[in-house]
A and B are shown apart, each in its own frame.
Chain A
Amino acid sequence: MPCANCFELPDELALSFLEALGLAGGVDVLLSAKGRHVSFLAGLGPKDELVVRASTSREELERFLFADNRPTVGFLGYEYGLRRLGLASAKDSDFPLGHLKKYETYLLYEAGCVRLVGQARLDGRVAALLERAAEAAAKTAESPAARGSARKESARAEGLGRLVSASLDRQAYEAAVRQAQERIRDGDTYQLNLSIRFTAEAKGLDAYGLFLDLARRHPASYYGYFESGPFRVVSTSPERFMRVRDGQVLSQPIKGTKHLDARFGDREAAGAEQALRTSAKEDAELSMIVDLVRNDISAHCEFGSVRVENHKSVFRVDNLLQMHSDVTGRLKPGSTVLDLLLDAFPPGSVTGCPKKRSCEIIDSLEPHSRNVYCGTLLAIYGRRDMDSSVAIRTGFLDTGAGFFHFYAGSGIVMDSSPSCEYAETLAKAEKFLQLLGGGE
């Protein structure tokens, strides 16, 4: 061990380590994979919890988050954001509006080192658990045949069954796109995100195994696994909502998508990237959301501090090229990350603009609740430190009903082709759809 409460673990063993750790149960994880480099924050043994309900006030949230120095991990759902905007959806759902937890033990993994956070030293029980997990991870590495293990097979082959429903079929989705465009012509919205909820049979699905399986096969920056009552959230998002480090705010909205053929080489990918950057439609979509995010972080940023950087950057994830920008600002001295988060919620890249009326229209066009989808998974470290994702490419297992629900959507603008937006939505759902045997 090179340092107290810390031991080395190669990047390639990080997921196997998490897998072994998960056998003990009660683990929530936020995981990031960029190239070969993996980092995660795992919470073991929830100690204090706040299930967010309609009656939960901002003050209650603040008391929970900042009562002590322990980090908080959890999620806020899209419908919590609707309530913040003064809109309450009439759709029934027993999924919580949000859920936040503090833990007995926190493990932070970065730069090849597992470290205990917020504890003076390892206690014997946790030390033994970590030792077993590290040994199991090493064994997996020695035996490539065992990689993926029975757990992964159960997630793919047995756990997930057929797709039983999609909240909007092709015809209904395309009709909703045309209705959205009519509302754009009326000036009610400039851009509107429209999603589909897919539901698959999932009796006996090991959601944690599914989470790790997806993380192995489709690494992305904002993976999350979170247990909330009978629900198991599996998030595989490529999009950061907001990060705050010592009061320095960064939001990285994504807009503009191009589907890549998996067989594309670097040259074809470079051509597709150029096409994405120079598309007037995609440019306008991103610009709108950048202005919206500037607006949303401005509520709690110092005057004159809000900037746009790296406009129209492109990255590749899940055979998709995605365009994004960095919006930065300086948190006002009297404001906290909770103030910033709540006044910018739900994330603008998954609502539309202007946000409130766009959300009203979304609620009328989508037959489903979004629940955790289009909300945020987050870790809050203190009044001026936080990281959070936009919960897209996200689903959840309902262990009671035995269904896995996942969602995907697309931003609709005036130039949108309904059939192309439907195809884009399916492309974004692909990583879940292919687990069901190839999609629709």
Chain B
Amino acid sequence: MHILLVDNEDSFTRNLEHLLAVTTGRAPEVLPYALFQTDLTAECDMLVISPGPGHPREYPAYAPLFTSREQGQPDKPVLGVCLGMQIINECLGGRTERLHGCVHGKAEEIGFLGRRERVARYHSLHVTKLGDGLEALAATDKGVAMALRHRHRPFLGYQFHPESFLTENGEAFIRHALRELL
């Protein structure tokens, strides 16, 4: 399996690279955002959009991945982590705004597919309006969206960080994404 991991100049991308490598048995290809173009995804099975600083609108190069394709042209499966999830949402018409209080470096239990999972949160912004076709897969007990998926297209996002040492079952979230998207 060939995974392309695009690094938005984040400081957790290598953690994600290691988690993907350990979970899938193959090292992903890591590419800086500055070099990313959508045609580079042609040869990969899945694209992973890394966390990163700032607002999703600062990363316009991803937008073409989410525009509707003509019939017969399949979407490229996309997993977004933190900023990556916000990028998926924003590209599909959603909205991202400041999260009152911010949460950084804290582990918290969330409801996920009927289970309670302890996950790491690092975010100042959060999704306040869902993009077209997206639904919330998980949220905090206070209702902050923690995972989104598209109802019909292979797009999935985690607001939390499966690659953090504070997340108890990081590999399980990657396996879930692979099942969901591929």
Contacts and interface: CB of A to CB of B under 8 A. Distances in A.
Contacts of A187: 53-55, 83, 98, 123-125
A414 B104 contact: yes
A77 interface: no
Contact of B165 (A280, A284, A294): A294
B104 A295 contact: no
Interface string B9-21: 1111111011001
A161 B137 CA distance: 64
B11 A353 contact: yes
Q: How large is the interface on A (under 10, 10 to 19, 20 to 34, 35 or more residues)?
A: 35 or more
A354 B9 contact: yes
A319 interface: no
B106 A291 contact: no
Given A187-B54, A298-B18, A303-B18, A284 B9 contact: no
| Interface-central residue, B18, B53, B123, B124, by most chain A CB under 10 Å | B53
Contacts of B123: 187
A184 B102 contact: yes
A304 B21 contact: yes
A40 B122 CA distance: 40
B22 A295 contact: no
Contacts of B105: 190-191, 283-288, 291
A12 interface: no
B101 interface: yes
A114 interface: no
B52 interface: yes
Contacts of B10: 354
B27 interface: yes
Which of under 10, 10 to 19, 20 to 34, or 35 or more describes the interface residues of B?
A: 20 to 34
B17 A186 contact: no
Contacts of B13: 295
Interface string A279-303: 0100111111011101110110001
Contact of B53 (A292, A357, A414): A357
**Most chain A CB atoms below 10 A, which of B17, B107, B161, B166:** B166
A101 to B, nearest CB: 32
Nearest to A288: B105
A356 B9 CA distance: 7
Interface in A236-293: 280, 283-288, 290-292
B104 A191 contact: yes
Nearest to B102: A414
B89 interface: no
B54 A290 contact: no
Interface of B: 9-15, 17-18, 21-22, 27, 51-55, 83, 98, 101-102, 104-107, 120, 122-125, 161, 164-166
Q: 8 tightest CB-CB pairs across the interface, nearest first?
A: A284-B105, A298-B14, A288-B105, A187-B124, A287-B105, A357-B53, A190-B104, A354-B11
28 contacts: A185-B124, A186-B98, A187-B53, A187-B125, A190-B105, A191-B105, A280-B106, A283-B105, A284-B105, A287-B164, A288-B105, A291-B12, A291-B15, A291-B120, A291-B122, A291-B166, A292-B11, A294-B15, A296-B14, A298-B14, A299-B14, A303-B18, A304-B22, A306-B15, A306-B18, A354-B12, A354-B53, A413-B104
